[in-house]
């Protein structure tokens, strides 16, 4: 859809006769946008390979087969990728500083078992931002390397989603009344008149959270890579929907807010959790609709197009998530100190799962990286 969308947006006709017959009107501004020259050294959409064209982005493209040094230098030049890089590089620096500050405030050795889920989560946040920066900065090295960088970007998003689930599992889920057998049994009795003991079901759920999250991460990565490798009519909608699937692992927190008085019991979690999902919905809106460049092609090629807005709102969502994960960690440490019998996270249940995921993601990526170049 990239080149076709740009062609439709620019008003570029298939034949000159169609251009002469097309009446003046609302399309005139779009035609002028097509004719607007790019900055020196940059190209228009019809001067780059079709797979490099982004929908409704008409200018500001870097040439193919840039050197690594030229890619690095382009971070300081006004291309249509410049702010895609900076809108994730600045958050990368901010989150690295925030995790470092938190490590200093906790007064625990970094290898303490209670901190293992935090380091899993931190690695997910930092890796997905770093891979996004690399993908946008070095995407013009070659078609094959462009595909490889974006496959790695998809894998890093899945890694981040699973890392978030690890943090939820240890820091947030133990504090939910929804997952307490007595509280859930009382809710079912009061609301539905059922007299059930949900203890076994809750134990089964808790045993399956991490394995299911790992399987979802692998499935999402494979689906997104396939949407790029084999072509897709609506790739941005598919990728947005696919990466929304792991968010289902946070359903217990959402249900806690609906069924129990989460606002009163944990106002920080309530406020930041639901605000995070608001930011995610806004980010998904821009990523799928391609607004504002769809409305005025050519005007937002360098500054203000949808992918930059998508990055900004995902940054806000991760920032809110980091706040309630941090509070969950503090609550976990308090409860552990008051109840020494409470089990601490294990290496196998945290870092071990992350290493297993990395191995499985490597196998998924290897399959797509071995495809012939024409299929990328």
Q: Which of 10-24, 65-79, 93-107, 288-302 has the lowest mean pLDDT?
A: 10-24
Task: Compute the half-sphere exposure of residue 356: CA atoms within 13 Å on the CB side of its CA.
Answer: 14
Q: How many domains does the chain have?
A: 2
Instruction: Choose among 201, 126, 205: nearest CA to 168.
Output: 205
Q: What are 16-30's pLDDT values in tens digits?
A: 333 333 333 333 334
What's the maximum distance between 2 C-alpha atoms anywhere in the chain?
Answer: 81
Predicted TM-score (pTM) of this structure:
0.87
Average pLDDT over residues 216-234: 80
Residues 25 and 31: beta-carbon distance below 8 Å: no
Q: What is the mean pLDDT of the chain?
A: 85
pLDDT reading at 10 higher than 70 = no
Q: Which of 210-214, 229-233, 304-308 has the lowest mean pLDDT?
A: 229-233
What is the Cα–Cα distance from 318 to 350, expressed in whole angstroms?
Answer: 20
| 17 plus 131 within the same structural domain | no
What is the Cα–Cα distance from 3 to 52, expressed in whole angstroms?
Answer: 8
Residue 323 is encoded by which pair of tokens? 């706040």
Q: Which of 84-98, 257-271, 303-317 has the lowest mean pLDDT?
A: 257-271
Q: Which of 73-82, 217-226, 303-312 has the lowest mean pLDDT?
A: 217-226
Quote the pLDDT of residue 76: 96
| 52 plus 113 within the same structural domain | no
Q: With the CA atoms of 5, 10, 13 and 16 taken in that order, what torsion angle do they form, in degrees rounded to the nearest 10?
A: -160
Residue 375 is encoded by which pair of tokens? 């299929």
| 204 plus 326 within the same structural domain | yes
Instruction: Choose among 318, 330, 243: nearest CA to 287.
Output: 243
| 114 plus 259 within the same structural domain | yes
What is the Cα–Cα distance from 199 to 221, expressed in whole angstroms?
Answer: 34
| 93 plus 26 within the same structural domain | no
Banded pLDDT at 157 (limits 50, 70, 90): very high
| 23 plus 124 within the same structural domain | no
- Measured between its terminal Cα atoms, the distance across the chain in Å is 14
Residue where a domain stops, chosen among 46, 65, 84: 65
| 105 plus 140 within the same structural domain | yes
| 118 plus 142 within the same structural domain | yes
Residue where a domain stops, chosen among 65, 88, 119: 65
* Domain interval for residue 291: 67-375
Quote the pLDDT of residue 119: 96
| 39 plus 131 within the same structural domain | no
């Amino acid at each position: 859809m990239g080149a076709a969308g740009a062609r439709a947006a620019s008003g570029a006709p298939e034949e000159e006769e169609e251009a002469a017959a097309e009446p003046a009107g609302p399309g005139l501004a779009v035609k002028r946008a097509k004719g607007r020259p790019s900055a020196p050294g940059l190209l228009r959409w019809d001067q780059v390979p079709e797979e490099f064209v982004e929908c409704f982005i008409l200018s500001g493209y870097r040439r193919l087969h840039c050197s690594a040094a030229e890619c690095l230098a382009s971070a300081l030049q006004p291309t249509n990728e410049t702010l895609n890089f900076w809108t994730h590089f600045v958050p990368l620096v901010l989150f690295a500083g925030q995790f470092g500050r938190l490590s200093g405030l906790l007064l625990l050795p970094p290898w303490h078992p209670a901190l293992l889920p935090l380091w899993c989560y931190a690695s997910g946040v930092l890796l997905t931002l770093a891979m996004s920066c690399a993908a946008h900065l070095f995407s013009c090295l070659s078609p094959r390397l462009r595909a490889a960088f974006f496959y790695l970007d998809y894998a890093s998003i899945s890694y981040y989603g699973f890392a978030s689930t690890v943090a939820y599992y240890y820091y947030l889920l133990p504090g939910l009344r929804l997952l307490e057998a007595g509280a859930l049994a009382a809710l079912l009795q009061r609301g539905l008149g059922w007299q059930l003991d949900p203890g076994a079901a809750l134990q089964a759920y808790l045993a399956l959270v991490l394995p299911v999250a790992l399987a979802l991460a692998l499935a999402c990565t494979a689906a997104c890579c396939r949407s790029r490798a084999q072509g897709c009519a609506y790739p941005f909608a598919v990728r947005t929907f696919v990466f929304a699937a792991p968010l289902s692992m946070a359903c217990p927190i959402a249900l806690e807010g609906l069924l129990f008085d989460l606002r009163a019991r944990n106002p920080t979690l309530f406020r930041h959790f639901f605000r995070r999902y608001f930011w995610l919905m806004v980010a998904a809106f821009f990523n799928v609709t391609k607004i504002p460049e769809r409305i005025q092609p050519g005007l937002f090629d360098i500054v203000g197009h949808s992918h930059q807005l998508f990055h900004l709102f995902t940054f806000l969502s991760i920032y809110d998530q980091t706040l309630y994960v941090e509070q969950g960690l503090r609550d976990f440490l308090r409860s552990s100190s008051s109840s020494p019998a409470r089990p601490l996270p294990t290496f196998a249940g945290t870092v071990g799962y992350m290493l297993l995921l990395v191995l499985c993601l490597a196998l998924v990526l290897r399959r797509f990286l071995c495809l012939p170049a024409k299929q990328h």
